[in-house]
Amino acid sequence: MGLRDVLQLQLQLNELYHRFSLLSSISPLSLLSISSKHTHLSSSLLSRRRPRRCSLRTMATMPSSSSRLRNLVPLSAIAAENATPGGASNGSASSSSAATALADDQDDSTAEVGYRLPPPEIRDIVDAPPLPALSFSPHRDKILFLKRRALPPLAELARPEEKLAGIRIDGKCNTRSRMSFYTGIGIHQLMPDGTLGPEKEIHGFPDGAKINFVTWSPDGKHLSFSIRVDEEENSTSKLKVWVADIETGKARPLIQNPDIYLNAVFDNFVWLDNSTLLVSTIPLSRGDPPKKPIVPVGPKIQSNEQKNVIQVRTFQDLLKDEYDADLFDYYATSQLVLASLDGTVKEFGSPAVYTSMDPSPDQKYTLISSIHRPYSFIVPCGRFPKKVDLWTSDGRFVRELCDLPLAEDIPITTSSVRKGMRSLNWRADKPSTLYWVETQDGGDAKVEASPRDIVYIQPAEPLNGEEPEILHKLDLRYGGISWCDDSLALVYESWYKTRKIRTWVISPGSKDVSPRILFDRSSEDVYSDPGSPMLRRTPAGTYVIAKIKKENDDGTYVLLNGSGATPEGNIPFLDLFEISTGNKERIWKSDKEKYFETVVALMSDEKEGDLLVDQLKILTSKESKTENTQYYIMSWPEKKAHQITNFPHPYPQLETLQKEMVRYQRKDGVQLTATLYLPPGYDPSKDGPLPCLIWSYPGEFKSKDAAGQVRGSPNEFAGIGPTIPIIGEGDEEANDRYVEQLVASAEAAVEEVIRRGVAHPNKIAVGGHSYGAFMTANLLAHAPHLFCCGIARSGAYNRTLTPFGFQNEDRTLWEATNTYVEMSPFMSANKIKKPILLIHGEEDNNPGTLTMQSDRFFNALKGHGALSRLVILPFESHGYASRESIMHVLWETDRWLQRYCVSNATDVNVDVDGSKENVGLGADSETKAVATSGGGGSEESNFEDEVFPSRQRSLLW
């Protein structure tokens, strides 16, 4: 993954962190978080109220080396969109609508009308102003501080939106709906001594401007960004593109024509050179939106008279009819224009549904991608027919590169792909050379083929009908290329079924040099991860592998940046690696005793030619259990670090929180790891056991050894990413023994916290979000002896409603009927006797977790007399965004835990020593009171999009 991609990923994580992380003050309650990565155990305060914070779980596939970039955003593409509503410039409580009643914290639940607020201690933490995001200039001499607001009000989520082709569109702005935004931009000069100069504010835009898509020009002299402002009746204007001069800080509209607006449904604008941008605009000829016919022209018909085999997941927000298709065309169609800093505007091509614009490194060409009809009613727009054309950057059409048909038939098996050209990109180390990959197995992972993928390469304008050249053949699925030069590139391939991942060394410019495997390992084996090559920025603005030189040494060295997973936790490192011999020298590693440090980026890459190891300059992040992340610049050969940020502690109430990483074993021998969070000054020997909350998320593995490896660091700042391991070794599928392994993991965790004396065996609660909610319901059904109550948010409970796979299940309902039925807590609703709180967003758009899942599960519970409560959050999606909703979730969580965990006096047949009576678990009745907790993730998707609430008497993860 390149620096740009890593930083973009971190922007998304950072936005989630500030929008969805929920905090709590803890009275008597403890927490345990179980993980395939590592489990987190946390005990609450005794009788004091102290705020605690919960953290957002990172994606399981995300490189650990980048996991702490909470405030860093891409150097060339800062786009604050995807998942947060736009709206008012602050997120204060006063911005809620008149129809929204915010009640004070009360124990009486009879007042069912209105939103509720947790105690002031928690409100203060939730409303703490977020830290700014950072972005470095191309020459690494300036830093942007991108300022943002706190949580948005519910009124912003209530804005009308069109749900079309798998995306949600704000018709007023002609953008994706629920966009986040920045409220201001500050520029700091990075001084030679590593300090920051005084802040210079970008100025000139309207009051209350909402800023998006901040992007540096290639020469670092200008910024481009979009601006929208509030209008009457809480509506927001369409977006305009603005530019700012870095030296003066003065901002102005890029296009003077007041009728030209940005179309930001897909790609929005990109710098073609230092003075010209290619901008996606709303066509001037566009009229009013199409009107829905009062009487339909005919029935809605879908046909499969050709007997095609088409299996699709439960995608949401799809097109429903021809009117929807027309509406999608209306909002998504753009007119591209060339807009220069001197005010010149020129149309580029004809209107179409353009989805991306990618200029070549030499700025001579641009790849233009678009989608077109026929559309589909069963798959989202990412699978619509796709066309990629090559244009010159001044607007001359060159040639069509591909026109892929509608892809409704991609198999559900993991590692299956679309047929035809994929991953069409520019070589980062060449002026204008294209490369792409094509499947040889029809895109079906179940088909045996060798090779499975072939990577091709071709000049932008081939001479004399020159055919594409084969660059490399792969027997696994293509996973990307890191380019360096004609002598070096790294090609990645992987296969999910076996978790195998390979890295190949190739010489793109030397046909006589045979490719060789550099690394061949399991993607689950984090202990063997050698790290990823560090990339440097080229003068063209692309990123290539940084070659490093040592004095009096002709070897070819690169820098490998690794997470450094060990049985004691992650100890990130930077290795000087010789490509030819495989020899490596560790030139930097994190302080494992107190701090968690990571290498973020090269800061000496503005120099041309190979980089000398004694002249390296890198950006690092540093944090501890009680100190939030700060950034440093470290220079060789002294390796002296200069701190460049001094962010205040966002939650000073949490500074004295205790944190410890612990290890324990499941009954089948699987090693589990956890992080134990304890109240300040808490001593179990003196203070006794506490109520405990376990918040977790299951994860699949192919081996016990991989599941037992430690992931994460005990020195990270109040943030975790655990899961419960579900293992399917060899030909066995993980879900074949899902419930059995789920219960075993929970028992091991509960046993550990009881053994340590931090958890009261009668007062252990369990909870989770998305797949973690699914887990919670299953544990209450199949391990009722462990838990006094549960909290399940935004889950899926009936697997027959997701018949073509879910999470990483590749088999259909008809291929694995028993698995689907046995895994569905809906089918065991009659077994759930412990109190369960269900929470769900009314507008959940995540595949699989339709709001209907919670509705039907609650009705099933009610039909069997279960003590249960269902909370549907208006306007909220899979992750909860508004201040009102998040505060209310905290109130609901605290009320539930206080009532059914903290105050629980029920006899659950567990004594303090951990022994219990046989409760019907089969032959194995030697289980003990257990507790678990962990991170969360999105059902059927790898993107974590959720809230982790905690509250006065509980700490949730």
Q: Is the bond preceding residue 637 a cis peptide, omega within 30 degrees?
A: yes
Gap between the Cα atoms of 577 and 557, Å rounded:
5
DSSP state at residue 601: E
Task: Return the closest-CA partner of residue 504 out of 527, 473, 526.
Answer: 473
Find out whether 745 and 725 touch, Cβ atoms under 8 Å.
Answer: yes
Find out whether 299 and 210 touch, Cβ atoms under 8 Å.
Answer: no
b/e 426-457 (16+ beta carbons within 10 angstroms → b): bbbbbebbbbbbbbbbebbbeeeeebbbbbbb
Kind of pairing between the strands at 595-602 and 611-612:
unpaired
Find out whether 212 and 239 touch, Cβ atoms under 8 Å.
Answer: yes
Phi, psi of 417, deg, nearest 5: -140, 175
Q: Which of 30, 369, 770, 854 is catalytic?
A: 770
DSSP state at residue 510: -
Axis crossing angle, helix 738-755 with helix 771-782, rounded to the nearest 10: 80
Using the structure block, give the residue that is written with the tokens 């009936």: 798
Gap between the Cα atoms of 921 and 927, Å rounded:
9
Find out whether 702 and 728 touch, Cβ atoms under 8 Å.
Answer: yes
H or E element that contains 277: strand 276-281
Torsion of CA 1, 572, 485, 579, to 10 degrees: -130
Tokens found for residue 761: 């065996």
CA distances from 510 to 20, 380, 489, 506, 615 (A): 50, 42, 11, 9, 30
Q: Is 405 helix (H, G, I), strand (E, B) or coil?
A: coil
Q: Is 858 helix (H, G, I), strand (E, B) or coil?
A: helix
Handedness of CA 469, 474, 477, 479 (dihedral sign): negative
737 burial level (CB within 10 Å; 0-12, 13-18, 19+): middle
| Rg, the chain, Cα only | 27
Find out whether 657 and 680 touch, Cβ atoms under 8 Å.
Answer: yes
Gap between the Cα atoms of 251 and 224, Å rounded:
9
Phi, psi of 498, deg, nearest 5: -105, -5
Q: Which of 769, 785, 878, 888 is catalytic?
A: 878
Q: Which of 267, 529, 844, 894 is catalytic?
A: 844
* Angle formed at CA 514 by CA 512 and CA 518, multiple of 5 degrees: 150
Gap between the Cα atoms of 407 and 75, Å rounded:
34
Q: Is 770 a catalytic residue?
A: yes
H or E element that contains 270: strand 269-271
Tokens found for residue 311: 């299996």
Using the structure block, give the residue that is written with the tokens 């003050």: 25
H or E element that contains 477: strand 477-485
Per the document, the length of the chain is 957
* Angle formed at CA 684 by CA 682 and CA 688, multiple of 5 degrees: 110
Q: Is 235 a catalytic residue?
A: no
Question: How many other β-carbons are positioned within 10 Å of the β-carbon of residue 378?
Answer: 12
Gap between the Cα atoms of 2 and 601, Å rounded:
10
Gap between the Cα atoms of 298 and 731, Å rounded:
49
Gap between the Cα atoms of 612 and 813, Å rounded:
58
Find out whether 680 and 33 touch, Cβ atoms under 8 Å.
Answer: no
Gap between the Cα atoms of 765 and 770, Å rounded:
17
Using the structure block, give the residue that is written with the tokens 């032959």: 923
- By annotation, the residues acting in catalysis are 770, 844, 878
